[in-house]
Amino acid sequence: MKHLIGLAAFVSLVVVVGAAASTSAKPGGSADSVYAWNLTAANTLNALPGPAGGAPPASQVSMGMVEGAVYDAVNAITPKHYRPYLLTRRFSAAASADAAVATAAYEVLRAVVSTAPSLSDTARQAALQSLADSYASSLADVPDGPFERQGVGAGRAAAEAMIAARQGDGRFGASQWVPNSSPGHWSPLLDANNNPILDPTPWVGGVRPFLIESNSQFRSIDPLPLDSAAYAAEVNEVKAIGSATSATRTATQTYIARWWQSNPMVSWNDVGTQLAKADGLDALDAARLFAMQNLSGADAAITCWNDKYHFDYWRPWNAIRRAAEDNNAATVADPAWSPLFAAPYPEYVSGHNCLDSAHVRVLRMLFPDAPTDGFSITSRSTLIQASDAKTRSFDSFSQVLAELIEARIWAGLHFRTADVQGQVLGRNVADYMAAHYFASVGKPTSNSRP
């Protein structure tokens, strides 16, 4: 299998950078540590409570930090290298890549867990101890001596550069939501005590991006006007198939809607690992892949959440219950309508589709033959029934993206336009990344630094 190509071969990009990585020789060493710490990072971040950064958009931001540092650490010690993300200092080529990867990932994860708010002391100490144990185990596999020390030095330098760059970046800042009771604006559902159910990480859209110029650089087009025929068609579509008691939605559609209630960051890092292992990537190219995926994903999350609170567009349950207020004769109010699932933040654009699209765009760049061989995704959704399959196989990236648009409608979470425009946003961010970052040394680029 020969998936990996230079980004210049990805013809849909206007400007692309990169160079082919060799699958026959491995100058960057084994990628096993890259894969192991990618999984450790995904599991650690996904396990955090939502307000402590475990919600999908926030965990994606933290994952971008981890994988950006890992890339810089491995890149700094590899003779065949790419342009750095933050760390411009070079280290000995004899340094241990395993020590560099483990140290970079551990130090960033430790900083994230140590500073996360809304985390109990018990949970924080348990997470920190688990990370420390994983780090100790990783270093125990590296022979003691100068090569280990040099690898640790490279990893620590990369982590310190990342942590310093993200100081005061807006993480865990104030909510961006300004309540507005006018038609077309979002209002939260209420819990059993009539308290609003709010976004656990409403600050994501205010975070300083990693790659793009601003968190509104790729602002989505306006959502559909409430009095338009297109809007009425989308309302009536989700009204019929997205309700909690829909007679239109099939059992398979309900299962798929439940199955996709998972963290895209976790799913797509796993797919990236599958494809990278199949191609036999070395440590540097695997680290580069994960940096490209997760920094693009982080900026897609930031841009998406900025859109959500900029437009403050109402969810289907707002629109259907209050259809008498939309000045559209083609919609009819149903005050008792409820979705299959709810989400505690504005509708436009779809966050899941933003993240999925960014990751898929990167994977398509680097693994254009993946549809030939396919891949699997294991959902961690807590809403899957005990008898349902958790792992599903896909023949192509297009199959996944098409299903995601429908799945969010079947769930009653989104109108079709929000799903489609979420995928546009994710592609735009990933394309910008490819045009400005991670080029081979000597290739022209217009990189800017956070």
- Residues paired with 313 in a beta bridge: 185
pLDDT at 58: 98
- Residues paired with 308 in a beta bridge: none
Indicate the domain borders of the chain.
Answer: 25-165, 204-436
Per-residue pLDDT of the chain (450 residues; tens, 9 = 90+): 333 333 333 333 333 333 333 332 333 579 999 999 999 999 999 999 999 999 999 999 999 999 999 999 999 999 988 999 999 999 999 999 999 999 999 999 999 999 999 999 999 999 999 999 999 999 999 999 999 999 999 999 999 999 999 999 999 999 999 999 999 999 999 999 999 999 999 999 999 999 999 999 999 999 999 999 999 999 999 999 999 999 999 999 999 999 999 999 999 999 999 999 999 999 999 999 999 999 999 999 999 999 999 999 999 999 999 999 999 999 999 999 999 999 999 999 999 999 999 999 999 999 988 767 789 999 999 999 999 999 999 999 999 999 999 999 999 999 999 999 999 999 999 999 999 999 998 765 543 333
DSSP code at position 222: P
Report which secondary-structure segment, H or E, holds 377: strand 375-378
- DSSP-derived secondary structure for 92-139: -TTS-HHHHHHHHHHHHHHHHHHH-SS--HHHHHHHHHHHHHHHHHHH
Joined tokens for residue 249: 């939605």
pLDDT at 370: 72
Q: What is the CATH number of domain 25-165?
A: 1.20.144.10
**Terminal Cα distance for the chain, rounded:** 36
Question: Phi and psi of 243, rounded to 5°?
Answer: -80, 160
Q: Are 206 and 176 a contacting pair, CB within 8 Å?
A: yes
Q: Report the C-alpha gap between 73 and 106 in whole angstroms.
A: 12
Q: Are 236 and 331 a contacting pair, CB within 8 Å?
A: yes
Coil, strand or helix at 228: coil
Q: Is the pTM of this model over 0.75?
A: yes
| Look-up of token digits 């961690």 | 380
Q: Report the C-alpha gap between 316 and 318 in whole angstroms.
A: 5
pLDDT at 369: 80
Q: Are strands 375-378 and 391-394 parallel, antiparallel or unpaired?
A: antiparallel
- Residues paired with 102 in a beta bridge: none
Q: Describe the chain by its helix, strand, coil percentages, rounded to 5.
A: 50, 5, 45
Question: Phi and psi of 378, rounded to 5°?
Answer: -105, 120
Report which secondary-structure segment, H or E, holds 356: helix 351-366
- Is it true that 25-165 and 204-436 share their CATH fold? no
Q: Report the C-alpha gap between 201 and 173 in whole angstroms.
A: 9
Joined tokens for residue 209: 């991006």
Q: E-assigned strands of 117-257?
A: none
- The answer regarding whether domain 204-436 maps to CATH 1.10.606.20 reads yes
Q: Tell me the Cα Rg of the chain.
A: 22
Question: Phi and psi of 131, rounded to 5°?
Answer: -65, -45
Which positions ≥6 away from 346 have C-beta within 8 Å? 177, 186, 308, 309, 311, 312, 313, 314, 315
Digit-coded pLDDT (tens) for 370-417: 767 789 999 999 999 999 999 999 999 999 999 999 999 999 999 999
Q: Report the C-alpha gap between 101 and 156 in whole angstroms.
A: 9
pLDDT at 144: 97
Q: How many CB atoms lie within 10 A of CB 282?
A: 24
Question: Phi and psi of 219, rounded to 5°?
Answer: -55, 135
Q: Report the C-alpha gap between 87 and 282 in whole angstroms.
A: 20
